[in-house]
Structure 1
Amino acid sequence: MIGHDDQRSYYRMMINAECILVVNSVEAPQQFNAICRDLSANGMAVEINQEIEAGEDVSVKINSTNIQIPSLTAKGKVLRSRKEADNLFVVGIEIIDLA
């Protein structure tokens, strides 16, 4: 266990990196520019200007700015979406698979 107040199994890295979030809906995929606030071994928090429903399947791509560090592409499921301000939502995503 990490600490008394945090029940997570993995540490979160605060990264604040630009990313592309794709909602893989049945009708048609929707792509959004977003900011990945933090990342852990099994999840991430992403800032976006639209609410995304819990349970949605998503893909997230974070491009690397360093040629020695590969870009990250992850498939996941939205666990929660919380409004922080007008047109600003924080979406919690469980990572299902890394590509």
Structure 2
Amino acid sequence: MVNFDDKRDFYRMMLNSDVTVTIIDDEANSQILATCRDLSATGMAIEMTHPLELNTHVKVSVRSASSNVQPLEVSGKIVRVTEEGEECFLIGINIAEID
């Protein structure tokens, strides 16, 4: 839904949820804990203590508040990295697939 105030095609939900980021570009499949700030149908923004390289492919697992609901698993790539402060980076992820 697009209105005059927001030109996005999909509504962005504001979150403050712990997520696990798996870097699938490296051989070790490194896992990093981060915080998901917001989520939409095509992207998400996560907050981390260090930056990631643009175009890095990642898998992100968003845990549910309820144990009855499975975590949301998405795959995508890093499209934006913004330094917000000392050891605080906002990482934009373009979602390619929802598992």
**Residue of structure 2 in register with 1:35 after alignment:** 35
Q: Unmatched 5+ residue regions in structure 1?
A: none
Q: How many residues align?
A: 99
CA offsets per residue over residues 49-82 of structure 1, 9 Å max, x none?
A: 1101110000000111214433101101111110
Which whole-Å deviations, capped at 9, do the CAs of 1:8-34 have from their partners, x for residues lacking one?
210100111001011112343221110
Query: For 1:15-26, what aligned pairs fall within 5 Å after superposition?
Result: 15-26=15-26
- Residue ranges of structure 2 left out of the alignment (5+ in a row): none
Q: Which residue of 1 aligns with 2:11?
A: 11
RMSD: 1.5
* 1:1-99 equivalent positions in 2, closer than 5 A: 2-4=2-4, 6-99=6-99
Query: Counterpart of 2:73 in 1: which secondary structure?
Result: strand
Q: Secondary structure at the match of 1:41?
A: coil
For 1:97, give the aligned amino acid: E
Which residue identity is paired with 1:61? S
The residue matched to 1:89 in structure 2 has which SS? strand
* Aligned residue identity for 2:93: I
After TM superposition, the score normalised by the length of structure 1 is 0.90
The whole-number CA distance in structure 1 between the counterparts of 2:85 and 2:34 is: 15
Partner of 2:45: helix, strand, or coil? strand
* Displacement over 6 Å in runs of 4+: none
Paired amino acid for 1:7: K
Inter-CA distance 50–66: structure 2 relative to 1 (3 Å threshold): same
